Structures are given as C-alpha cells and as structure tokens.
Structure 1
C-alpha cells in the first residue's frame, strides 16, 4: 500500500504474519526491501550501460549508499529487524533501559537481561553501547544546527507563502499549487525530525514520570 512513514510518503507491505515463520523465513522477509533495491539498481545499471548517461551513474551510487544505510541497526530500518530476528529478540529498544540499568555498578542484573542467553545478552549490550552514543550524537547535532537553520527556514517559508498568496490572487493556479508543494516539502523534514525526537523521548520521559511522580506525591503527603 501507500502511506506515511512519520511524515514522508512511502510504499509499504504488511508483513505482520511473518512472525509465524521460522527465523530464516523472517530474515528473508527482512531482506525484501533490499532485494527490490537490488532489482532497481540492476535496471538502472542496465540503462546506464545502454545510454552512458552520467546522471544514471550518480543515481546508481546513491542507490548503493541508500541500500547500505538500510542495514544500520540504530533505528527501525531493515538492519534493526535483521538483528532482531537473528538473535530472537522482537523489540530491541524495550531492552535498552534494562541493559543500561544493569550496567550501573552495584545494581543487580535486570530480570529482562538475565532471562536472555549469554551470547544474546552480549549482542544486545554491544548494540546498546553503539546506539546510545549514536542517538545522542544526532540529538546534540540537531540542537546545535536548529538555532542556525531555523531562521533561514522561517524566512524561506514566509517568502514562499507570500509568493503563493500573490499567485493565487492573480489567478495563477499552477504557480499557487507549486508554492503549496514547496511549502510542504520545506516543512516535512522538520515535522519528521520533531516526531522522531518525540518518539525517542517518550519512553525516558514516561519512565521518569512513573518513578518520580509517586515519590513526589508521597513526599507531599508526608
């Protein structure tokens, strides 16, 4: 079908029933997107060999890079699900908190970590040690870049809005429609980034509220 991934348009296929398959079957399902990328790359490569168009060569390189990024396990891309199915743990992010808690000196191993096989526990711990700095890096990067870029984006947004309004007033429907598309494309990355940050912060904030609110209420009553 066709839908939105966060805010970006995307084609999708429902593979919920793949969890009824064995490990090999689930891995084969996880690699479905990479397979179609490979098919598309093959088609573009064939077109390049036939036409020698330079832009096709650039597209091939870009497609290879995009396909390679799908194997990154830091966020919910193909690599995340491949790792999840390889080690047999459905939701890796739900294990992040218990793993971090278990790494605090003097703290006992969390039951959700202790129940895992030793090699799975080591794999998830390594994954957490990679993912946490990665997410923090991007979070800090966003916080540094946003104050510098946001005024530029706002200025461009105002400019596009004025141009779209002028085109609509003059009866230029095509130019007005193009302005709407440009505004949407300008806003999409920001809305998507905001949603991603909210998703990243949801569990930590909920955990802190669950822990602190009862304690504050108890302190207030006493």
Structure 2
C-alpha cells in the first residue's frame, strides 16, 4: 500500500498546479487588452473633444500628455505598492480606476473635468504593465513556457489596441461620444470585476 501511494502521489502533484499558470495568463492578457485598448481610445476621442470644447492643439497635447505622463510616472510606484498591498488588489483597483475615469470623462462639460479624469485614468493604467507582466512571469517557471506566455501577453495588448478603438469608432457613427466613453468606462469596471475573480490571490509584485 505504501509503495502504491508513493507511486501515485507524484503523478497527482503537477495536476494541481496546471490551472494556476493558465488562469494567471488569461487574467494578465485580459488586463493588458483592456488597458491598452482604453489607452489608445484617447486617440479616437481627442479630435472629438477638440471640436466639442473648442480647445487648441496645445490643449489637445496636454490632454494626451496628462494620461501618458501619469501612466508612465507611477509604474515604478505601482510595483512598490504591490509589495505592501498585494498585486491583486492593486491591479484590480487600477483597472477600476481607469474605468471610473472614463465614466467621469463621459460627464465632462469642459477641461475642468476632462483633464482630471484623464489624469485619473493614467494613474489607474499605471498598474497594469508592471503587475500583469510580473503575474505572468511568476506563474511560469523559467524554461517552462514563460517566454511563450509573455509573447501571448504582449499580443493581447495589440488585440485590445485594435478592437476597442475600432468598436468605439463604429459606435460613434450611431451614438454620441458621451455614450461611447461611458460604455468604455463600464468595460473597465467589468474587467476589474473579472480580474478580482481570476487573478491568483498571491502577495507581492
């Protein structure tokens, strides 16, 4: 009996770990697709905002720079905060903040609301790249498909860049920009809920 157990036990151990890397990869790819799609959606909206609010090209650049600047500037801080608060909480919270920022932008009547909304969106987006990529790397052992997993993670971002702005562009032909922006915000909130369920509850970043 003891010999039989010693033979069957090692075979059952890898099976218990099979779901974790796959689950982590799906979560990271979903986060990358949504965040990159919401980031590139700004390019579709900037000409509309310029016409809607009669702003100059300099202000258009400021709007774009406020989002990208916040996103780039807080990425290192996101990695540090993840060590204290947990990667899952920070990634979910950042995604929810990005979605809420689009909901706020959909209610904007001018730069006084639109500019802070984009800054909040960039702040939320700053959590995705460092935390989702580390999620993929940590869930796959070296030499165990981590390079392929990271390639799939990067490709998911390109899919999001293509699908979300394209879908918004089509929606703009039949609906107002406010509705399109608010739907993008709801997408971000829905993604945050999905990440809360799918991201493994492991500390650190």
Structure (1/2) with the larger helix percentage: 2
Same fold by TM-score greater than 0.5: no
Report which of the two structures shows the higher radius of gyration computed on alpha carbons.
Answer: 1
Structure with bigger RCO (C-alpha 8 Å, 6+ apart) = 2
